[in-house]
């Protein structure tokens, strides 16, 4: 009987030691919790936006993969209902159709009650017909109607109805006087560019040390007058580019001339702008190029199936943007790039976090 008691005591001791050994790693894991853990990020897919689950060049699975690796839960908005109460951030990546009136109403209710939105606009609609790529002027989110009208009236921010093009003299110098080019080649030469013109006085551009790449962008207009809210430009157009308001005709015939009355000079053109309302805690970032965040644009790699990303600064800028929109106080760095190419999974978790602190604001973290 005594032997049985001794064996029982040894077994209990082993179990206690086993329990204590399992408690330590859990505590360490909680201490090293991913910076976006517990946050719910909702993507819109209803208006042909770039999808977080689309692994093609037009999709945004890599962007979403980074966010999930940083701990965020990725979900899809159901526009038949209000934006969920646990939504810490709504992401709308380059819709090809206007948001409907019911969608705008639901989104607006969410925003004015302290919501956060990453809105990525696009001047172009790219479709494929029997293997042929067709580039058209998109009419979604026009500057003077729908969601843009509300954003301008209440937030002082909207996308202009333009396409960033290279001035004629610079274009001629770039392609040569007699170089024959088709429309797709001409469009790529004049509308794809990189820029280092950044506002480095905000946490959103911290660590963005190389050029940001744009692949056909709209400029973003913002109200710089004294208001009860703050609008801060983050990125500006590259030298030699201007906002072409007649870009639809340019797409048709490949010809564009700068019009002083209708077009916009490059020195004043912002490509990304942040908005903060200290009273409601509403946060918004508008970027004027859908492909800035797509697998085949800002998240492209060479080869496409590898994790050798071409524009790491695009990734850093977007991760910083999400961190600021979430008002996350945890330091955020780009996670393991090799593991971020996986398509994210939509999961059910507890309600997300929401911070009321405005300490981060627009002041750069030193």
SS (H, E, C) 68-89: HHCCCEEEECCCCCCCCCCCCE
What are the b/e assignments for 322-361, b being 16+ CB within 10 Å? Answer: bbbbbbbeeebebbebeebbebbeeeeeeebebeeeeebe
Is the model's pTM score more than 0.75? yes
Q: Within 10 Å of residue 1's Cβ, how many Cβ atoms?
A: 5
End-to-end CA distance of the chain: 68
Structural domains in the chain plus CATH codes: 35-339 (3.40.50.880)
Phi/psi at 128 (nearest 5 deg)?
A: -125, 125
pLDDT of the chain, 366 residues: tens digit per residue: 444 454 544 444 443 444 333 333 333 233 478 889 999 999 999 998 999 999 998 899 999 999 999 999 999 999 999 999 999 999 999 998 889 999 999 999 999 999 999 999 987 665 566 666 556 656 688 888 899 999 999 999 999 988 888 765 555 555 554 555 555 555 555 678 899 999 999 999 988 988 999 998 889 999 988 888 999 999 998 877 878 776 666 666 555 555 554 445 556 799 999 999 999 999 999 999 999 999 999 999 887 777 788 899 999 999 999 999 999 876 676 665 544 445 565 544 333 343 333 334 654 332
CA atoms within 13 A of residue 157's CA, in its CB half-sphere: 27
- In terms of Cβ atoms closer than 10 Å to its own Cβ (0-12, 13-18, 19+), residue 303 is exposed
For 31, left (φ over 0), alpha (ψ -120 to 50), or beta? alpha
Look at residues 5, 14, 37 and name the one whose alpha carbon lies nearest to residue 352: 37
Token readout for 160 is: 């202009």
pLDDT given for residue 14 in this prediction: 43
Instruction: Please state, in angstroms and rounded to a whole number, the distance separating the CA atoms of residues 294 and 39.
Output: 22
Distance between CA atoms of 123 and 192, rounded to whole angstroms?
A: 13
Nearest to 189 by CA among 173, 166, 209: 166
Question: Which residue, 113, 55, 52, is CA-closest to 77?
Answer: 52
Choose among 257, 292, 268: nearest CA to 119.
292
Three-state DSSP class for residue 235 = strand
Q: Which residues does 285 contact at the CB level (< 8 Å), separation at least 6?
A: 117, 118, 119, 204, 234, 272, 273, 274, 275, 321, 324, 325
């Amino acid at each position: 009987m005594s032997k049985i008691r001794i064996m029982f005591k040894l077994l209990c001791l082993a179990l206690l030691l086993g329990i204590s050994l399992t408690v330590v790693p859990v505590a360490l894991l909680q201490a090293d919790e991913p910076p976006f853990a517990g946050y719910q990020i909702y993507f819109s897919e209803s208006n042909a936006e770039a999808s977080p689950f689309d692994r093609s060049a037009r999709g945004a699975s890599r962007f979403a993969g980074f966010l999930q690796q940083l701990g965020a839960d990725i979900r899809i908005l159901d526009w038949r209902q209000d934006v969920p109460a646990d939504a810490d951030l709504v992401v709308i990546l380059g819709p090809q159709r206007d948001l409907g009136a019911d969608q705008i109403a639901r989104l607006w209710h969410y925003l004015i009650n302290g919501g956060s939105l990453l809105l990525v606009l696009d001047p172009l609609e790219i479709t494929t017909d029997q293997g042929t790529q067709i580039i058209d002027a998109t009419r979604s989110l026009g500057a003077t109607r729908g969601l843009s009208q509300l954003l301008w009236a209440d937030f002082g921010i909207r996308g202009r109805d333009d396409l960033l093009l290279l001035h004629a003299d610079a274009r001629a110098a770039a392609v040569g006087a007699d170089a024959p080019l088709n429309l797709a080649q001409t469009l790529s030469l004049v509308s794809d560019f990189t820029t280092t013109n950044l506002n480095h006085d905000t946490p959103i551009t911290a660590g963005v040390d190389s050029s940001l790449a744009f692949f056909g962008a709209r400029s973003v207009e913002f109200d710089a007058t004294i208001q009860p809210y703050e609008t801060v430009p983050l990125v500006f157009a590259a030298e030699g580019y201007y906002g072409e308001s007649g870009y639809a005709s340019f797409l048709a015939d490949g010809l564009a001339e700068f019009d002083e009355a209708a077009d916009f000079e490059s020195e004043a053109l912002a490509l990304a702008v942040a908005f903060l309302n200290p009273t409601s805690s509403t946060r918004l970032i508008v970027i004027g190029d859908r492909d800035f965040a797509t697998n085949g644009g800002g998240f492209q790699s060479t080869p496409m199936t590898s994790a050798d990303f071409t524009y790491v600064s695009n990734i850093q800028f977007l991760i910083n943007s999400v961190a600021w929109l979430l008002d996350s106080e945890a330091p955020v760095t780009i996670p393991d790039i090799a593991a971020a190419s996986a398509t994210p999974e939509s999961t059910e978790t507890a309600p997300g976090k929401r911070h009321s602190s405005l300490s981060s604001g627009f002041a750069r973290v030193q």
